[in-house]
Amino acid sequence: MSLIISDILHHLHINNINEAFSTGSNWGSSPDAAVKDIFSPTDGKKIASVKMATATDYNAVVESAAKAFKTWRTIPAPKRGEIVRQIGEQLRVNKKELGTLVSYEMGKSLQEGYGEVQEMIDICDFAVGLSRQLYGLTMHSERPEHRMYEQYHPLGIVGVISAFNFPVAVWSWNAMLAWVCGDVCIWKPSEKTPLTAIACQHIAQTVFKANNIEDGVSCLVIGDREIGELMANDTRVPLVSATGSTRMGKAVSAAVGARLGKSLLELGGNNAIIITENADLDMSLIGAVFGAVGTAGQRCTSTRRLIIHEHVYEAFKQKLVNAYQQIKIGDPLNENNHMGPLIDQDAVTLYLASIEKCKAEGGNFVVEGGKLDGDAYSSGCYVKPCIAEVENHYQIVQHETFAPILYLIKFKTIEEAIELQNGVPQGLSSAIMTQNLREAETFLSYAGSDCGIANVNIGTSGAEIGGAFGGEKETGGGRESGSDAWKVYMRRQTNTINYSKTLPLAQGIKFDL
């Protein structure tokens, strides 16, 4: 085991990673249980070996969760919120260690690792307040001496399938809200980043135990695609929240839909920033570069396309070229570096193939890409961020490449720019850089961006937990985190109370006996 990992697990009081999460079953007891070796993309070193769940393990976890739900839903929401508050406090105490673990296991910069843990803390704070605001509605009945209202009840088991690029934050967006709503959670993290999940599960489970809450409210199932398929097809799991590729989301949606379950999908992004002739180019540069190279281009909100007005195109292109020459690539635990590795060598292969496809379609690279070699890049997962001049209709541009490849596209009018922005299958995040009020308001209007997120004078990457996060079209239509996203974790019920001495029927219907 890596010394870095040993120190972190020791700080978290985790002695055995395969016993650090309580699931209501004897984890990995099946003779069919496989063991997966986990390697860091940072230095290529083996981090640990983790037992993978079998179908038997999964079923035991679901049974444990179903049992726990019957008790957890009876606890008043503000008291559930108090437990979530305590989880948030433990995340604060362990922020440095968790952030370092995220950075080392996934490869994002240390500051981004800390930032991801801060997102978890923020959603805990949000959920605590929400626990006293699970509001319904009241309305007037057309019948005398009747009252009507709506209320929300917990769904039951919420399945959470998360991706490697945000190995813990997205789970927290779902789990903290689901818990205050009275649901229990089963989390299937990416098999590429299981240790961060184990650490978070251990923290949550420690808090639940201290509050005398039985096992099963917080469950973890580390497994491969088979576990995800079991969850998607499981009628005992009324809601499946899945984050990942559009291909994966379509499979989950079809399986859950076939049993008339609910799915919350956060899928691919092909995000663009429109830079108008009225933009502050220096400010635009910051948003564009961070959006393109942050997390090595492995965010669903990463900036993939820059749609630039022809009058400022050459000037802004030169600013980009100069900025890219200053990007420092290397060990993400070194805070002087801007960009770390891709998640694994398969991702490098896809990155290189995308560059070749772009060139074959006519793309002109103004900043060349390629794989980085040498002792500092011994894991084989480090690449160069690159920039290509393209046309929006190129097949490779229409596709989401999870890597630091930035496409430049020229436009003449704001209407053309918005059409280019919307002219891809995905619809997650978008932005416009302008100091012109009419351009900004047009971009935000019904005739503007078709994405779930539309920003003015900030980039596409990153989101505050106060707003609902999600996108349209092939991004899946889901909404997580803030605003009224909590409603997806509950079932809605309309109630009518008759406090009269008669039973009048609606719409004046007569039914005399």
User: Taking a C-beta distance cutoff of 8 angstroms, is the pair 120, 168 a contact?
Assistant: yes
Q: What is the DSSP letter of 109?
A: -
Alpha-carbon distance of 38 to 50, in angstroms, equals 7
**SS3 annotation, 219-279:** EECCCCHHHHHHHHCCCCCCEEEEECCHHHHHHHHHHHHHCCCEEEEECCCCEEEEECCCC
The number of beta carbons lying within 10 Å of the beta carbon of residue 456 is 15
The alpha-helical segments, DSSP class H, found in 342-485 are 345-360, 395-398, 414-422, 437-444
Residue whose token pair is 């009048």: 504
**Residue among 17, 27, 32, 35 at smallest CA distance from 60:** 27
CA-CA-CA-CA torsion sign (333, 267, 249, 381): negative
191, 266, 439, 480: the active-site residue: 266
Element (H, E) at 303: strand 303-309
Residue whose token pair is 């959603």: 123
Alpha-carbon distance of 244 to 315, in angstroms, equals 36
> In the sheet that 184-188 helps form, which strands lie side by side, from edge to edge?
218-220, 184-188, 157-161, 239-243, 262-266
SS3 of the chain: helix, strand, coil, percent, to 5 = 40, 20, 40
- Active-site annotation holds for 464: no
Active-site positions read 266
